[in-house]
């Protein structure tokens, strides 16, 4: 019975290593994007998405949300 337990623990060690490697890869990607993306201006679509997010966070009523989204659309049209 102890041989079966030892095999299970070795398998979990491999699984744990794979999980750690996956987390490290994702973290490395975000560090890479954060370092090399800072100097670039956002694209028109990215700027529009950020504007829409800000509208959703700050607008509390229908009229102000619609006005904010209209402004985002005008900015997008001017950008393109």
The tens digit of pLDDT for each residue in 4-38 reads 565 555 566 888 889 999 999 999 998 888 777 66
Per DSSP, 38 falls in state T
Give the CA distances from residue 6 to residues 1, 12, 15, 33, 49, in Å, rounded to whole numbers and listed in that order.
9, 10, 14, 41, 51
pTM metric for this prediction: 0.49
The tens digit of pLDDT for each residue in 30-67 reads 888 877 766 667 788 888 998 999 988 887 888 888 99
pLDDT of residue 25: 95
pLDDT of residue 3: 61
């Amino acid at each position: 019975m102890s041989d079966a337990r030892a095999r299970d623990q070795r398998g979990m060690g491999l699984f744990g290593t794979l999980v750690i490697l996956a987390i490290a890869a994702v973290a490395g990607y975000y560090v890479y994007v954060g370092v090399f993306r800072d100097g670039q201006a956002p694209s028109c679509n990215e700027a529009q998405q950020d504007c829409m997010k800000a509208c959703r966070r700050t607008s509390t009523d229908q009229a102000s949300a619609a006005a904010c989204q209209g402004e985002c659309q005008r900015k997008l049209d001017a950008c393109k």
